[in-house]
Structure 1
Amino acid sequence: MADRAFIVTGPTAGIGYRTALEVARHGEVVLVGRNAAKLDDVRAAVGREGGTAVPVVCDLADPTSVQRAAAEILALDLPIAGLLNNAGVSPTRATTNRLGWDTTFATNHLGPFALTEALAPHLPDGANVVFICSAVEDPGRRFATMAGFRGGRYISAEASARGEWEPGGSALPGGDAYATSKQCNLATVLAFARETPRLRFNGIEPGFCPGSDLGRDAPAVLRAVMKYVVSPIAPLLPYCSNPRTAARMITAVLTDESSGTGMYYDENGRPMTGSALVRDPDFDARVVAETRALLAAVAS
């Protein structure tokens, strides 16, 4: 058994894949994702580089699947030192899960929230819990607004699950759903850091990463250009990165044994601030309370 183990969600492509390979240098990796065949491919890739990994199938958009996966992870009885909530989607059209919840909000916020809540009581003191966030949640972030986002449009957890957002948002298809889910990620990080000081909760904005799997709905030609032309030079551009570079920075935060918590890091690993809304502890607490109530209602 490795001295340490780390959980990585969404490890089958993009940032998650590169991070799983990086993290495997520091301990065993628990690979959490929807596709069993792809998880086996990642496990094999980790093995070829001398690491060890174990796959756990989970659909983060489904609360029942999340609870089942959490129980399976705990049953492995591994020395978990960190949890990376990386899995995310950004579809350009609204879809729903079996409960009728908006898929983007369920996958990006509700699933990671539920997984963290299920695992946190069993994590040792000092364990790292990292959420991949995004500056598009901030309506004051110039690069995000230039890209067409208008910040998170949170009304309530129930409204978000229904795919309802505060008026006046983005014209980008799926833009409000993605920005709001990421705003809730960051609010969760900051609220959990205050609630549970024995663990370390931090958020990371990995930068705009052309070539990551978030653009899977884009036309094939555009995806190819982003992956093979733009991605290699992206780390040289402001606010940008690529999966390999982002993975190294994320791994550094996930494996850090310092006492930092409640931090939000940019694509270069430097501290940054989120929107004015998430800097309000009352807003963060409301997001957490409403999310807990929504998930509890389903569980009951």
Structure 2
Amino acid sequence: MEDKKAYIITGPTSGIGYETALALAKYGTVILIGRNREKLEQVQKTIKDNGQNALSLVCDISDILSVKRAARQIVELNLRIGGLLNNAGVMLQKATKSAQGWDMTFATNYLGAFALTECLVPDLPDGANVVFIGSAIEDAERKPAKVMGMKGGRYISAEASAHGEWKAGGAKMPGIDAYATSKQCILAAAMAFARENPRLHFNVVEPGITRGTNLGGESTNAFVRFLFGYLMSIIPPFSTYSSTPKKSAKVITKVLTDESGKTGVYFDEKGQPMLGSELARDQKFQENVVAETRALLSKVKE
């Protein structure tokens, strides 16, 4: 038992995050990070009832100050961390604001994950894995995105994205540009991190079109939940990329616990390497996104 590691996961109370938390518990202590204390405690109890170990920390991943506090608490636990999974994500139709006054989708999906990673990296042991959850929606050339009229990531700058401003000519469906841009930034930043820091391993998983994720929560209307949560997983061409939370958890857990040293890889829903959009693959774009994000986050003072 002494050789078991600890694994950090954000957004572990439903969908892919919940199934991944249960799967990770077989490999060591799971550190559950989310906004809702009651739901976190329910997941923690389920894991403990299975004879495994979990800890929970209340943190609003969209709030950079909350993220910094959580990172300090994790470091103080003095556990040997095997991996960090930046899973928390939302797809909101209505633009709402985070604690810093930033676009909630961009703050939750990207800025919070970026900040948590940056805060923890110095204290992660050599060889630890950092995994981000991506989305092929960031690529306007991918067939399902084209069919749905999605236009991919609409990045202008980190500052513009934080203020809910996207490159003109985006998708007609509300919230898609924010979501796609946040995921494009995730992919770009992860690839830049992989080059910057060979001591650790940074990878991205595209979990596929997955039923039961409830990305939009209560703020998403019933039709959109049905469209993304069920219909797209069973009709062509979307069904080609279909998955379930349990299947996604299996792929994510494999990547997060892998000891082969893979880094800078974008994995698809079957755990195979895939390509992101041409822009997300551009090294200058990747480095620009990281530099702008660091500059933006540096403005947040405690």
Q: TM-score, normalised by structure 2?
A: 0.94
Shift in Å at residue 148 of structure 1?
3.0
Structure 1 stretch displaced more, 219-228 or 72-81: 219-228
Is contact 1:211–1:223 with CA below 8 Å preserved after alignment? no
Q: How many angstroms does 1:221 deviate by?
A: 7.6
Following superposition, the deviation at residue 228 of structure 1 comes to 8.1
Instruction: Check 1:226–1:178 CA distance in 2 against 1; reply closer, same or farther (3 A cut).
Output: closer
3-state SS of paired residue (1:237): helix
Aligned length: 299
Any stretches of 5+ residues in structure 2 without a counterpart?
none
- Answer whether contact 2:60 2:67 (CA < 8 A) is retained: yes
The one-character-per-residue Cα deviations of 1:4-59 (angstroms, maximum 9, x if unpaired) are: 00001000000000000000011110000011110000001111222110001111
| Counterparts in 2 of 1:139 and 1:286: CA distance versus 1, 3 Å | same
Equivalent residue number for residue 145 of structure 1: 146
1:263 matched to which residue of 2?
265
Question: Which residue of 2 is the match for residue 289 of structure 1?
Answer: 291
Mapping 1:4-23, distance limit 5 Å? 4-23=5-24
* CA distance 1:254–1:168, shift in 2 (3 Å): same
Shift of the 121–38 alpha-carbon distance from structure 1 to 2, 3 Å rule, reads same
2:119 aligns with: 118
What does 1:170-249 align with in structure 2 at a 5 Å threshold?
Answer: 170-216=171-217, 217-220=219-222, 223=225, 237-249=239-251
Secondary structure at the aligned position of 1:213 is classed as: coil
CA pair 162-228 structure 1, distance change in 2 beyond 3 A: closer
**Which deviates further from its counterpart, 140-149 or 285-294?**
140-149
Q: 1:102 to 1:227 in 2, by over 3 A?
A: closer
Please report how far the alpha carbon of residue 224 of structure 1 lies from its aligned counterpart in structure 2 after TM superposition: 7.1
Please state if 1:81 is matched with 2:70: no
Residues 55, 233 of structure 1: alpha-carbon distance in 2 compared, 3 angstrom cutoff = farther
User: Is 1:69 the counterpart of 2:75 in the alignment?
Assistant: no
Give the 5 Å matches for 1:128-167: 128-167=129-168
Residue 37 (1) aligns with residue 38 (2): yes
Per-residue displacement from partner, 1:172-204 (whole Å, max 9, x unpaired)?
110000000000000111000000011000001
Conserved? CA contact 1:153–1:180, under 8 Å: yes
**What is the distance in 2 between the residues matched to 1:228 and 1:262?**
31
Q: What displacement does 1:86 show?
A: 0.3
* In 2: Cα distance, 1:27 partner to 1:233 partner: 38
> Offset at 1:211?
1.2
CA shift in 2, pair 1:225/1:196, >3 Å:
closer
In 2, Cα distance between equivalents of 1:53 and 1:12: 13
Q: Deviations over 1:145-184 (max 9, x none)?
A: 2223210000000000000000001111100000000000
Query: Are the counterparts in 2 of residues 133 and 185 from structure 1 also a CA contact under 8 Å?
Result: yes
Aligned-partner residue type, residue 87 of structure 2:
N
- Partner of 2:281 in structure 1? 279
Q: Is the CA contact (8 Å cut-off) linking 1:63 and 1:111 kept in structure 2?
A: yes
Percent identity between matched residues is 57
Q: CA RMSD in A?
A: 2.1
Shift of 1:249: 0.7
User: How far is 1:299 from its partner?
Assistant: 2.6
Change over 3 Å in CA distance of 1:68–1:146 after alignment to 2 = same
Change (3 A) 1:40 1:144: same
Gaps of 5+ in 1: none
Structure-2 separation of matches of 1:36 and 1:204: 27
Verify the 8 A CA contact 1:212 1:227 in the aligned structure 2. Answer: yes
Give me the TM-score of the superposition, normalised by structure 1.
Answer: 0.94
Deviation for aligned residue 1:142: 1.1
Residues 19-28 or 221-230, more deviating: 221-230
Residues 92 and 220, structure 2, Cα contact 8 Å, conserved in 1: no
